[in-house]
Amino acid sequence: MYCKIWGVRGSLPVPGARTVKYGGNTTCIEITGYNDECIVLDAGTGIFSLGRHLVHTGIKKIHVFITHTHWDHIQGFTMFQPLFSDDVEIDIYGPKDPNSGLTIEDLLTSQMDRHFFPVQLQNVAARLNFKDVTGGDRIKINSLIVRTFEFNHTAINIGYRIDSENRSIVFTGDHEWKLNPHPSDDPRFSSMEESIKASRRETINFMKGADLLIIDSAYTEEEYLTRHGWGHGTLDSSISAAREACAKQVLFTHHDPSRTDDELEKIFKEAIERNTINGKDLEFALAKEGMEIKL
């Protein structure tokens, strides 16, 4: 498989000189299989450049997997150039909201309502097929198998594991490791602790042995003290999880939009040193726009 990173930021795009090295676009990842299968993970602003690239490749079938519909994961979808090509077919997968009942088709259609965008989704030229997903699904795309898992976030968030014959890529989307809200002397503490441990085991198992793990690592440990419940992880929690899952290569993503390139490198270096990572450990890196990985 081949992986290319097209967007790495969380919350909103931040182009400019202070983010030029790692990139200012929001989340978008391209996965290509050995039989030229085209999978797109999330449709943040990075999908704009990806779309311009895809129209020149001759690819006519595209599979877009949305983790969740917070703005930073769908805000580039309206400008995805293949949408406006009448010889392209796009399968769009994403979670149905359990509370409102809104499907991925409902939510993306609303985003392109005439109040927000001049072209409505029902009027684009491409053939669109919408498919709701839940945790535990298994989707076959030629030589690739896509498996789904519900990661913990403030909205329903489906992460994806793409397996080829002998390689695997896991993308969490947005994810926060669960914490016990009860003090240890609270009678609810023990049962909640068991539930949290079981949830962690399931999450780690989904990541197990991934050749490439792309994981939400938005915060430092200090920042996280005041951001519990915001739905994102830290560099340290990602390092711990990757080791536990025996992943081989790890990319930290969902970079905070207030963080400059220099600041990203500083907190990354500190996390690596704090967790005593050496050359014998698995490989860690900051996700960067334009980064290409062949597995």
Q: What is the pLDDT of residues 157-207, one digit of tens each?
A: 999 999 998 999 999 999 999 998 888 888 898 999 999 999 999 999 999
Q: Which amino acid is present at 21?
A: K
Task: Give the pLDDT score at 279.
Answer: 66
Q: Kindly tell me if the per-residue pLDDT of 48 is higher than 90.
A: yes
The single residue listed with the structure tokens 């790890």 is 250
Q: How many domains does the chain have?
A: 1
Distance CA 193, CA 262 (A): 38
Give the angle subtended at the CA of 13 by the CAs of 7 and 17, to the nearest 5°: 95
Residue 121 lies inside a defined structural domain of this protein: yes
Task: Give the pLDDT score at 276.
Answer: 84
Residue 295 lies inside a defined structural domain of this protein: no
Residue 244 lies inside a defined structural domain of this protein: yes
Residue 90 lies inside a defined structural domain of this protein: yes
Contact (CB, 8 A) for 136 and 95 = no
Distance CA 211, CA 92 (A): 25
Q: Which CATH number characterizes residue 258's domain?
A: 3.60.15.10
User: Beta-carbon neighbour count of residue 149 at 10 Å?
Assistant: 22
Residue 62 lies inside a defined structural domain of this protein: yes
Range of the domain at 203: 2-290
Read off the pTM: 0.96
Q: Kindly tell me if the per-residue pLDDT of 57 is higher than 90.
A: yes
Residue 37 lies inside a defined structural domain of this protein: yes
Mean pLDDT of 276-289: 86
Mean pLDDT of 46-62: 96
Distance CA 252, CA 283 (A): 11
Mean pLDDT of 47-54: 98
Q: Kindly tell me if the per-residue pLDDT of 55 is higher than 80.
A: yes
Q: Kindly tell me if the per-residue pLDDT of 62 is higher than 90.
A: yes
